[in-house]
Amino acid sequence: MENKIAVIACSNACLDYFDYDYDIKIFRSMLHLGDEDYLDYVDISADDFYDRLEKDKSVFPSSSFMPLGQMVEIYEDLVKEGYNKVIVISISKQLSGIYNASLLAAKEVPKLEVTAFDSRTLAYPQAKMALTACEMIEKGKDVEEIIKELEYIRDNNKMYFAVNTLTYLVKNGRLSNASGFIGNTLRIKPVLTITKEGKVETVEKIRTFGKAVDHLLERYFEETKGKDVEPFVIHANNPVTRDLIISRLKEKDPSLKDVFSLPLTAVVGAHAGPKTTGLGYYIKK
């Protein structure tokens, strides 16, 4: 029997915010604002969400992953389309239950062989994994070969974030070393990273957002010196800081033509908070 392999990512990969040529199914998370529930991107875009946060400070966002029943439906649809294998590329399982849920849902659809891959990250690196998997499927590669390539991307990317307020990360329990900040949340503008294990941790405590952004750039330049890298910028409704970072990158390296940038989708922004800006890189082979 000939294998037909599909790719699923979760909405935290932010694939909705740029164009690509592949049919990637999305496990969409739910955003909860007060008594209202929104399907990520379908019911509320990143811009709409950040506007809402600016206008109504009383509403605190939270999120939940797609119900198992809906995951099962997506799997069943793939079987109807003739697929017998699927690779699910999830946000870090340290940050969400999507990875485990995708495996639980798989038990309900025995005709589909589900391989869940923990990206140990989110946003652009996760999107890059999904796109790479699709490229490899087109070239006739099997699941084992694809997973090997995804492991390379997972182990060779790094992201740092400047956060404008820690309130969201602390309140939603997504910051693994938050104890030193409680009671001091609003005054510190920390630099965060996603560790090799996929946890969000603080790497530097800084007093102003501008200095935190400078620190992102310092770390980027220090760690990428002499390496062939692909830079990327992600942001929670902060185009001014995005443009500043991109211009600094191009100043330092005039040969840099394009720097990929994309907004953080609403569900990720619910935890990172508005104005959060990230700078990262992927080390090319």
The pLDDT tens digits for 4-43 are 999 999 999 999 999 999 999 999 999 999 889 999 999 9
Domain check: are 150 and 167 in the same one?
Answer: no
44 within a domain of the structure (yes/no): no
- Give yes or no: residues 141 and 230 share one domain: no
Same domain, yes or no: 138 and 190 = no
Q: Is residue 56 situated within a structural domain?
A: no
Asked if residue 169 and residue 132 are part of one domain, the reply reads: no
Q: What is the CATH number of the domain that holds 180?
A: 3.30.1180.10
Q: What is the pLDDT of residue 183?
A: 42
- Whether residues 14 and 130 share a domain: the answer is yes
Q: Which two tokens stand for residue 210?
A: 């501008």
What whole-number distance in Å separates Cα of residue 236 and Cα of residue 40?
A: 15
What string of DSSP letters covers 198-213? S-EEEEE--SSHHHHH
- Claim to verify: residue 187 and residue 81 sit in the same structural domain: no
Instruction: Domain of residue 70: give its range.
Output: 5-29+65-155
Q: Which ranges constitute the DSSP H helices of 68-197? A: 68-80, 98-106, 123-138, 143-155, 167-171
Last residue of a domain, one of 100, 125, 155: 155
Instruction: Name residues of the chain where pLDDT drops below 70.
Output: 1, 170-186
CATH number at 107 reads 3.40.50.10440
In a shared domain, residues 247 and 276 = yes
Which among 155, 183, 202 is the end of a domain? 155
Are residues 220 and 106 located together in one domain of the fold? no
The answer to whether residues 149 and 203 belong to one domain is: no
pLDDT at 178: 52
Same domain, 17 and 148: yes
**Domain closes at, from 129, 155, 181:** 155
Please report whether residue 54 resides in a domain: no
Question: How far apart (Å, rounded) are the C-alpha atoms in residues 135 and 139?
Answer: 7
The C-alpha atoms of residue 135 and residue 153 are separated, in whole angstroms, by 14
- 19 φ, ψ to 5°? -90, 140
- In sequence order, the β-bridge partners of residue 32 are 37, 62
Does residue 248 lie in a domain region?
Answer: yes
Structure tokens at 10: 């979760």
Residue 86 lies in a domain: yes
In a domain, 58, yes or no: no
Give CA–CA dist 184/180, Å, rounded: 8
Q: Specify the number of domains making up the chain.
A: 2
Q: Are residues 161 and 200 in the same domain?
A: yes
Residue 172's pLDDT is what?
63
Torsions phi, psi for 117 (to 5 deg):
-120, 120
- Together in a domain, 195 and 272: yes
Q: Is residue 219 part of a domain?
A: yes
Residue type, 99: Y
Domain assignment present for residue 47? The answer is no
The helix (H) or strand (E) run that includes residue 33 is strand 30-33
Task: Give the integer Cα–Cα distance in Å for 75 and 108.
Answer: 9
